Amino acid sequence: MTGLYPRPEAPSYISPTLVIAFEACPAKAGFGRDPSVVGLRRTGPAAAVGIIAHEVLAAAGAGVAFDDVWSASAGSAFEKLAAQWAPATPPQPSQWPNWALTRERVKVKFGDSDTHGSFVNSVTDDVRASRLQHVTLLASMSPQLDSVKNAYTPLPWIERQLFDSDTRMMGIPDLVEEHDGQVVIVDHKTGTAREGAEADHELQLRLYAALVSAELGVSRVRLEIHNASGQVRLVESSPGLVDDAVAIAQRAHASLLAAERGEEQLSGKPAPKTCGGCPFRGVCRAYLEAPPGDRRAGRAFAFDVLEVDDAGARQGIWARVIAPVEQQGRVRITGFPFADEPEIGSRWGASDFELREGHARGHWTTLLHPLQ
C-alpha cells in the first residue's frame, strides 16, 4: 500500500470552509475529517498570522493599545504552535510569512474607529466563549435542529453561527447588518490574497447569503468583502448564483457522507498549486502515485524502514522509498520526528523535509505518519 484514501467523519452540517476545501481537493477535505490522520493538520506560521490579525481586530475600539493587543496575541499564537509541533521549535513570529505587512495593515485598520465601531468592539472573549458553548450544545442536539430554527435577534449579527436544516449548511459570517433597508453581509480578509482566492471568497459569501436569506426570509442580500487596506469589493448575489453555490455545497456533503459509509473514495487533485502546502501529501495515495509534474519532488515520500541506528531513529535510519516512483531506492533519513523507535519493515509516509543525494533531513515542520 503506497498511500491512503481518506475515511472521513462527515459533519451533520457542512460549512463554507469545508465546501471550499472539497472543491479544491476532495481527498484533502476528507483527510481533514479522518480521525486517523487529522493530527497531521497543524497550524502553520502563515495561518497563525491570520489568526492574530482577526484577534487584534476584534479588540479594536475597546480602549486597548494596539501594540499590547498584538504582542499578547502573537505570544499566544507562538505558544500554540510550539505545543502542536513539539518537540520541534517553530521560528519566532517576526520570521513568519507576511508578518510585517499584515501587522502594518491591521494597525491602520485598528485605529480606524469608523470602520470598527459598528461591530468589532462588541466581540469580546466572553462573547466568543458563549458562542463556543452554544456551538457545543447545538452539536450535541443535531437531530433536533431539523425542527428548531435559530432564535431571532436584531441586527447586526457579529460572528453569529447560523444553521439551515433544509440545506444542511452552517456558517459564521463576520458581520450581518442593515443599511438603508437592505441586509448586508460583510466578510473581512486580513491576509494577502492567494491565487484563486477570489472565486473561493465569492462561493463563501454566496453560501452565507443562502443562510442569512433562509434565516431572515429575505430574497436577496448585499455581499461585501473588506480587505485590510479598507477597500470594499462587492460580490454578485443573484438568486441563481446563490442556488448554484448551495448545489455545490450539497454535492460535497453527499460525497463526504458516502465516503464515511465506505461507498465512495474521495479523489485527489494532484498539482503543484493544490499539493504544495498540503499536510497530507505523505499519506495521500493520489499524490504519491501522481505523475512527477504534479508534485514537488523531494517534499514527500512513502518508505519502508530497513535499519535503525543504535543511537535511535531520530539520529538516523536506513529506508527504502517505495513512492513516488522517481525517488524509489535506498535513502538515509535523519531528524524525522519518530515518537518511538520504528519497527524494521514498518511503512511510513513523510512530508516537508530536505532530500539531497540520498539523504533526507527532517525540518521542524516535517510530518510523519504510519501507513499500516
Higher pLDDT, 195 or 283: 283
pLDDT grade for 224, boundaries at 50, 70 and 90: very high
- Per DSSP, 295 falls in state S
Instruction: Categorize the per-residue pLDDT at 116 as very low, low, confident or very high, splitting at 50, 70 and 90.
Output: very low
Helices (H), 298-353: none
Per-residue model confidence as pLDDT tens digits over 227-241: 877 889 999 999 999
Residue with cell 453581509: 185
Domain ranges of the chain: 16-257, 272-370
Select the more confidently predicted residue: 245 or 149.
Answer: 245
Which three cell numbers mark 246?
A: 448551495
| Residue corresponding to grid cell 428548531 | 148
Q: Which of 1-5, 37-41, 116-120, 335-339 has the lowest mean pLDDT?
A: 116-120
| Between residues 140 and 247, the one the model is more confident about | 247
Residue 11: band (very low, low, confident or very high) from pLDDT cuts 50, 70, 90: very high
**For residue 296, what pLDDT is reported?**
59
Query: In DSSP terms, which residues pair with 361 in a beta bridge?
Result: 334, 354
pTM of the model: 0.77
Residue range 145-156: mean pLDDT, rounded: 60
Read off the pLDDT of residues 289-329 as tens digits, 9 standing for 90 and up.
Answer: 988 776 655 589 999 999 999 887 778 999 999 999 888 99
Q: Give mean pLDDT, residues 118-142.
A: 43
Across the chain, mean pLDDT equals 86
Please tell me the predicted confidence (pLDDT) of residue 295: 66
The better pLDDT of the pair 316, 148 is held by: 316
Q: Which long-range contacts (CB under 8 A, 24 or more apart) does 19-23 make?
A: 19/203, 19/207, 19/248, 19/249, 19/252, 20/200, 20/203, 20/204, 22/252, 22/255, 22/256, 23/200, 23/203, 23/248, 23/252
What is the C-alpha separation between 110 and 105, in angstroms, rounded?
Answer: 9
Q: What is the mean pLDDT of residues 183-212?
A: 88
Distance CA 320, CA 138 (A): 48
Residue-level pLDDT at 271? 86
Domain 272-370 sits in CATH at 2.40.50
pLDDT digit string (tens) for 257-279? 999 999 999 999 998 888 878 89
| Residue 254: band (very low, low, confident or very high) from pLDDT cuts 50, 70, 90 | very high
Higher model confidence: residue 253 or residue 111? 253
Average pLDDT over residues 67-84: 94
